Chains A and B, each alone.
Chain A
Amino acid sequence: MKMEWRVIKLEMHDAYQNMAVDNALIDSVKSGMSAPTMRFYRWKPSAVSIGSFQSMRDEVNVDKCKELGVSCVRRLTGGGAVYHDTEGEITYSVIAPEKLFPKNIIESYKTICGWIIDGLSLVGVHAEFAPINDVVVSGKKVSGNAQTRRDGVLLQHGTVLYKTDVSKMFSLLNVSKEKISDKAIKSVEERVAGVSAYADIGIEQLYESLLKGFLAGKDFEFDTLTEEEASEADRLSIDVYSTDSWNFSR
Chain B
Amino acid sequence: MHGEARVKVAQGKLVSVKVDYEETINSIKIMGDFFLHPEAAIYGIEDALLGMDAGSDRETFRNAIENALIKYGAEVIGADAASMADAVKKAIENGVESNKTGNA
Binding site for B on A (CB under 8 A): 51-55, 58, 76-81, 105-106, 132-133, 146-150, 250
Contacts and interface: CB of A to CB of B under 8 A. Distances in A.
Q: Which 3 A-B pairs have the closest CB atoms?
A: A78-B35, A80-B33, A52-B39
Given A105-B75, A132-B77, A132-B78, A54 B32 contact: yes
Interface string B18-45: 0000000000011111111111001000
A144 B88 CA distance: 28
User: A-side binding surface: helix, strand, loop or mixed?
Assistant: loop
6 contacts: A53-B30, A54-B32, A55-B16, A58-B31, A78-B33, A78-B35
- Interface range on chain B (Cβ under 8 Å from partner): 10 to 19
A157 B22 CA distance: 41
Given A78-B39, A148-B37, A53 B32 contact: yes
Contacts, number: 59
Contact of B35 (A79, A81, A250): A79
A53 B33 CA distance: 7
B36 A53 contact: yes
A147 B35 contact: yes
A148 B77 CA distance: 11
User: B-side binding surface: helix, strand, loop or mixed?
Assistant: strand
Contacts of B75: 105
B37 A149 contact: yes
A148 B75 CA distance: 11
Contact of A77 (B13, B16, B35): B35
Contacts of A105: 35, 37, 75, 77
Contacts of A78: 33-36, 39, 77-78
Contact of B38 (A53, A150, A250): A150
A148 B13 CA distance: 16
B34 A53 contact: yes
A250 B17 CA distance: 11
A79 B12 CA distance: 11
A55 B35 contact: no
Select the residue from A51, A53, A147, A148 with max chain B CB neighbours within 10 A.
Answer: A53
A106 B16 CA distance: 23
Contacts of A147: 35
A146 to B, nearest CB: 7
A54 B79 CA distance: 14
A161 B8 CA distance: 25
Contacts of B34: 53, 78
Contact of B33 (A79, A149, A150): A79
Nearest to B76: A78
B95 to A, nearest CB: 18
